[in-house]
Amino acid sequence: MRAVVQRVQRAKVTVEGELVGQIGPGMVVLLGVGGGDDARDAAFLAEKIFQLRIFDDENGKMNRSLSGIEHGAMLVVSQFTLYGDCRKGRRPSYSEAAPPAVAEQLYEQFVRNAEALGAKVATGRFRAAMQVELVNDGPVTLLLDSRGDRPSP
CA 6, 12, 15, 20 torsion-angle sign: positive
25 contacts 9 by C-beta, under 8 angstroms: yes
Q: Which of 44, 50, 80, 110 is catalytic?
A: 80
Q: Which of 79, 109, 110, 123 is catalytic?
A: 79
DSSP assignment of 72-98: -EEEEEE-GGGG-B-SSSSS-B-TTBP
Q: What span, in angstroms and rounded, lies between the C-alpha atoms of 45 and 10?
A: 22
* Active-site residue, 81 included: yes
* Active-site residue, 80 included: yes
Q: Which of 9, 51, 81, 141 is catalytic?
A: 81
Across-strand partners of 2?
32, 145
5 contacts 144 by C-beta, under 8 angstroms: yes
Q: Which residues are catalytic?
A: 79-81
